Structure 1
């Protein structure tokens, strides 16, 4: 493989891709984005052929930051707004679904926070550990809750599901606002 890139004329082509333990042929796979290219360029492992660091494609930190911030302000902000408007429905969900939502949201946003600050990508648990060193103490309980869920620890730190959901929503809004201010400050 000498070059690895996609021209805009290739965006509508069908090709093979592997996802969810299944080899498929079809439309453009949604997960080719700056995070994918960053991971390949900076963390790719050579099995056969040239080192991924030598591939002829360019991914700059600003492309990664721009993509992550856009995702945070679109997907995550909308998800949090929906959760905030339907908190009673969320509380009525089974505990395992609430656990999933807390883990997905808290650790997912912390991964983005890490990427915006460090220009790198880490696991959910590593993002949680990082958050505990960077985020104000008032949010540590929901970060620890999300990490416990990820680790399979069933005992909750909170007294009720409502309290966990409320703290997740408030933390998410805080972190999105914090990240936007952080990026804005870096631009000035």
Structure 2
């Protein structure tokens, strides 16, 4: 793990209006990272990232000098019964420092504060994200346990694996579905 100096110390916080300046870099890195890994990802527009920032539904990681290091956002579905934690990305220069875990923890907490009764879900092909979610109490589920909102699934249309999702009738794909159900957690 690279040493961290005071100059590149990372601040992870809920994104603010001034952070819209990073939206283009965030979307570009999301797409570039997916291509480099050869995995599918729903494309996000710069406008959608700006919207999440302005709504207070995003978490950003920055150096103390204001260099963008990472990002994630949340989205609600079915009258806020479901929340998706999405778009987790860390800039290549800041990887292998545990920043993704810190962002994931922060977006999860933001989801719980804003929507305490909602089921929180994530779909991913990445083992690292699966491990992060598991540590937070997410469990693997079938796609039937997730939102049935067509708008959510429309987002998968830009993924390279969309044909697989369609051929399976929307029941499964290459992504693993993970769910945090606060009602289940309180029972345990």
TM-score by length of 2: 0.31
Tell which has more relative contact order, 1 or 2 (C-alpha 8 A, sep 6+): 2
Structure richer in strand, relative to its length: 2
TM-score normalised per structure 1: 0.31
Q: Which has the larger radius of gyration?
A: 1
Name the one with the larger helix percent: 1
